[in-house]
Amino acid sequence: MPVLIDKAVEKDQQKGYIRDLTIGVPLRMTDTQRETVVMTRYVSTDKFRADFQPEGEWHEEVTSDIARGRRATTRLKVHGIDGEERPVSVDDGLIIGLVGTLSGVVGIIPGRPPLSLAEVDDHMDATEEDVPMFEKWDFRVHKILKTDGPEARQSLARSEDHKRQTAQTEMYDSFSAMFKNFQDGMAIKHQEGDLAPSLQETLDAGSKAAEPTVTRATKKG
């Protein structure tokens, strides 16, 4: 069963609370939202096979729907602009905190749903094969923060676009100045009788010609 999130319903806060979207504004949650299992993960009980052994509670944060695969159903939803329900995306600017709790131990055999302990015993009695055992962790939503994520990304994109345009303008101006120096320098070198100056000599002559002329006033005695 998916959890439907209403981004417009913020949690009531105590007097003096400062609403700040940059750090996140808590949304109000219902008991149904808190009790719904939205994700299940399995961790091997074999410490040599599992690179992570959670204890107590397992906390994670997501910013988009957690469904995986084409056939997976949506777990976290919001209302779109058209009023229809859709999966949560990063553009919604939500930070969703999940908490996982250990709900039991199951056996997992490829091609079959997780087996209960009784089913594991029956399978081992019938086949004399060991069954890999896993801890089953069920995740529920325990907090939802609304942020200015979309606006911040748009602002960053505008800033990056401005930087790119500025860099392109500076590069164009630099090439234009260098080309003008080359033309001026070539004209100067030809006037001096040097018909085959090097590139550096040509640019140096053009740069020198572009330097502002300083006129010194002479003191009349």
Q: What is the pLDDT along the chain (221 residues), one digit of tens a residue?
A: 789 999 889 988 777 777 888 888 899 999 999 999 999 999 999 888 777 788 889 999 999 999 877 667 899 999 988 889 999 999 899 999 999 999 999 999 988 999 999 999 999 999 988 999 999 999 999 999 998 876 655 554 555 565 667 666 777 667 676 767 777 767 777 777 777 777 777 767 767 776 665 444 444 54
The first and second tokens of residue 26, run together, are 């808590």
Which letter does DSSP use for residue 142 in this model? E
Q: Are 144 and 5 in contact (CB under 8 A)?
A: yes
The two three-digit tokens of residue 170, written as one number: 């500076």
Element containing residue 5 per DSSP (H, E): strand 3-5
Cα–Cα distance, 211 to 220 (Å, whole number): 28
The token pair at 189 is 């070198």
* Cα dihedral 47/52/53/58 (nearest 10): -160
- Torsion angles phi and psi, residue 11, rounded to 5: -70, 140
Question: What's the CA gap between 150 and 21, in Å, rounded?
Answer: 11
For 104, the 3-state DSSP assignment is strand
120's enclosing H/E stretch is helix 117-127
